Structure 1
Amino acid sequence: IVSALNEAKIKLSDVDLISFSQGPGLGQCLRVGAVAARSLSGMLNIPLIGINHCVAHIEIGKQQTGLNDPVTLYTSGANTQIIAYAGEKYRVFGETLDIGIGNFLDNVGRYMGLGFPGGPKIEKLAAKGNKYIELPYPIKGMDFSFSGLQNKVRQLIGQESNEDLCYSIQETVFAMLIEATERALAHIDKTEVLLTGGVAANKRLTAMLERMCKDRGVKFAVCPFTLAGDNGAMIAWQGIVEFNAGKRQNLSETEIDGKWRTDQVKVN
């Protein structure tokens, strides 16, 4: 907190609103943030607002890119969802049925001995691959899964070069995400696509999604790298948005919720 204040060149007394990630996420991590936020709010006697982590990703992406009403492909470690606004909420039109794409890439990287995080290292090796290895393609409608694919990749390690395996992994999983996103575009008749989340840094995913959007004649944008992954700025920004829209919370309403879904939040 002290480092953040110093970087922003402000004093604690300059702060007039506290917002924090109320969920979803890991309980231990959410709890640390919530305790600090409640303590500061009480000490400074200023408002406290709990923010849905996923909604914050979408809103900071819109604010940074100028998109108005996009289909959002949200690609993080724990979550992978296709989201769009409808009926005062961000509705989830497609999502992973097991693990998020970020966790999948990190797990595969660990199996290959690449270390953590695995995603950037897989991307680097994939650029050197030129042989496509057929892998499972688990997609149904706009939902998809990665655990079965993860097990198959683990079996192939040592039988194929890491470069070709990484190339095939990226081509397969990214094609699944683009297919599901394209179906969502057709289903709900939107004309914009936003890519956000930590995996948005992958240049191959960005290129494939950009090509699909160009073919469909829709606008495409990527949230800037520094704000695409988890960050405090998106929570702060969403706190301002919701406070200005009239949201107020009592202390009893700020309990963390590790399973708080995107489509449970009313958005003005």
Structure 2
Amino acid sequence: MVLVMGFEGSANKLGIGIVGDDGTIISNIRHTYITPPGEGFLPKDTAKHHRSHIIALVQRALKESNLSYKDIDCLAYTKGPGMGPPLRSVAVTVRMLSQLWNKPIVAVNHCIAHIEMGRLITGAQDPTVLYVSGGNTQVISYSLNKYRIFGETIDIAVGNCLDRFARVIQIPNDPSPGYNIEQLARKGKNLVELPYLTKGMDVSFSGILSSIELLAKDKEKMKQYTVEDLCYSLQETLFSMLVETAERAMAHCGQKEILAVGGVGCNERLQQMINQMVSQRDGKSFAIDERYCIDNGAMIAWAGYLMYKDGVTTPLDETTTTQRFRTDQVEVTWRD
């Protein structure tokens, strides 16, 4: 059996995963850097968190899997995209372990890892992919050995929009700002009109964020609405835009499947809206839960496994990181 250990640390979640042949997930543990309400996570502090916990997580993953480092065939890590200092802190650890253990390295695109993990867990064959997370928002479809981006955010990602609004209304970051907004949104009753900004296949969220921030700080207007109303309205507006662009991509590509991946992809309201859209097209939607939807080491291990089995490794002097690593830059050699 080929075993790959995956290292994920592109944002505030540090994950170590071990994956074997045919996608057998042997270990998938995670430690999240959580800041006080109203605060985001700074790159330097996030990197410090990763450095403080990564070796302990590696040891725990091996112990819980009843494995030795000698059993591992390859190390896979997130090259990008993501936050620079956290990415680098993980890459340095991987380079160290590679030399200590004498193991090859595979550099993985974070977005590709989300897609391939989604396909593995759900069994989706050739879906239109709605990739929605804290740092990325893209509508993607596979064609000619690459994952092609049909539409994307032209400013901030949908998860970043939710996170930043969570800071405005001072709700906890534990377990995540987006999750806490989702719970409040379920209690919302009044839909507040917000800007709806789709631009062809692309979307824009910064104007919506500015609009709802001003509303939340206006004491007179907030006499008409609750915080729950604002969370409900924000979700409905953002997700409607995403589902609209995803449906156009499905129509253009003639596809019947849609797969939601990334941290925001486990939002149950978003999944419900996708299901409603797909049911009208006689299609099928796929979604995964927080174990594999939120950033994790197993998805990096699985993407690394696919590349490693296809003969791809990364020379030590090329094991760099980058904050900008587009989904459509990767040659997808493991698919027909």
TM-score (norm 1): 0.97
Cα shift readout 1:191-225 (whole Å, capped 9, x = no counterpart):
21001111122111110001101111111110232
User: Displacement, 1:67?
Assistant: 0.6
CA RMSD of the aligned region, Å? 1.1
Residue equivalent to 2:124: 67
| 8 A Cα contact 2:107 2:313, kept in partner | no
Instruction: Report the Cα distance in structure 2 between the residues aligned to 1:76 and 1:84, rounded to whole angstroms.
Output: 17
Equivalent of 2:264 in 196, 199, 219 = 199
Instruction: Report the Cα distance in structure 2 between the residues aligned to 1:115 and 1:225, rounded to whole angstroms.
Output: 18
> What secondary structure, in the 3-state scheme, does the structure 1 residue paired with 2:103 have?
coil
Equivalent of 1:216 in 249, 268, 281 = 281
User: Displacement, 1:162?
Assistant: 0.8
Q: Which moved more, 1:167-176 or 1:37-46?
A: 37-46
Instruction: Report the Cα distance in structure 1 between the residues aligned to 2:101 and 2:232, rounded to whole angstroms.
Output: 52
| 8 A Cα contact 1:102 1:199, kept in partner | yes
Residue equivalent to 2:296: 231
How many residue pairs match? The answer is 268
Residue equivalent to 1:110: 167
User: Displacement, 1:124?
Assistant: 1.4
Equivalent of 2:193 in 116, 134, 153 = 134
| 8 A Cα contact 2:80 2:322, kept in partner | yes
State whether structure 2 residue 243 is matched by structure 1 residue 178: yes
Residue equivalent to 1:242: 307
| 8 A Cα contact 2:192 2:233, kept in partner | yes
Residue equivalent to 2:138: 81
User: Displacement, 1:144?
Assistant: 0.5
5+ long unaligned stretches in structure 1: none
Instruction: Report the Cα distance in structure 2 between the residues aligned to 1:113 and 1:36, rounded to whole angstroms.
Output: 35
User: Displacement, 1:11?
Assistant: 1.2
Equivalent of 1:251 in 316, 324, 333 = 316
| 8 A Cα contact 1:30 1:256, kept in partner | yes
> What secondary structure, in the 3-state scheme, does the structure 1 residue paired with 2:142 have?
strand
Equivalent of 1:49 in 82, 85, 106 = 106
Instruction: Report the Cα distance in structure 2 between the residues aligned to 1:115 and 1:150, rounded to whole angstroms.
Output: 18
Cα shift readout 1:91-110 (whole Å, capped 9, x = no counterpart):
11111111111111111111
Instruction: Report the Cα distance in structure 1 between the residues aligned to 2:180 and 2:316, rounded to whole angstroms.
Output: 43
| 8 A Cα contact 1:71 1:82, kept in partner | yes
Residue equivalent to 1:262: 327
User: Displacement, 1:175?
Assistant: 0.3
Instruction: Report the Cα distance in structure 2 between the residues aligned to 1:214 and 1:67, rounded to whole angstroms.
Output: 16
User: Displacement, 1:249?
Assistant: 2.1
> What secondary structure, in the 3-state scheme, does the structure 1 residue paired with 2:209 have?
helix
Residue equivalent to 1:2: 59
5+ long unaligned stretches in structure 2: 1-57
Q: Which moved more, 1:187-196 or 1:176-185?
A: 187-196
Instruction: Report the Cα distance in structure 1 between the residues aligned to 2:112 and 2:81, rounded to whole angstroms.
Output: 10
Q: Which moved more, 1:227-236 or 1:38-47?
A: 38-47
| 8 A Cα contact 1:58 1:196, kept in partner | yes
| 8 A Cα contact 1:59 1:238, kept in partner | yes
Q: Letter of the aligned partner of 2:125 in structure 1?
A: N
| 8 A Cα contact 1:64 1:224, kept in partner | no
> What secondary structure, in the 3-state scheme, does the structure 2 residue paired with 1:123 have?
helix
Q: Letter of the aligned partner of 2:255 in structure 1?
A: K
User: Displacement, 1:7?
Assistant: 2.0
User: Displacement, 1:253?
Assistant: 2.1
> What secondary structure, in the 3-state scheme, does the structure 1 residue paired with 2:76 have?
strand
Q: Letter of the aligned partner of 1:153 in structure 2?
A: I
Instruction: Report the Cα distance in structure 2 between the residues aligned to 1:49 and 1:156, rounded to whole angstroms.
Output: 47
Residue equivalent to 2:153: 96
Q: Which protein is richer in helix relative to its size?
A: 1
Residue equivalent to 1:124: 183
Residue equivalent to 1:189: 254
User: Displacement, 1:185?
Assistant: 0.6
User: Displacement, 1:52?
Assistant: 0.5
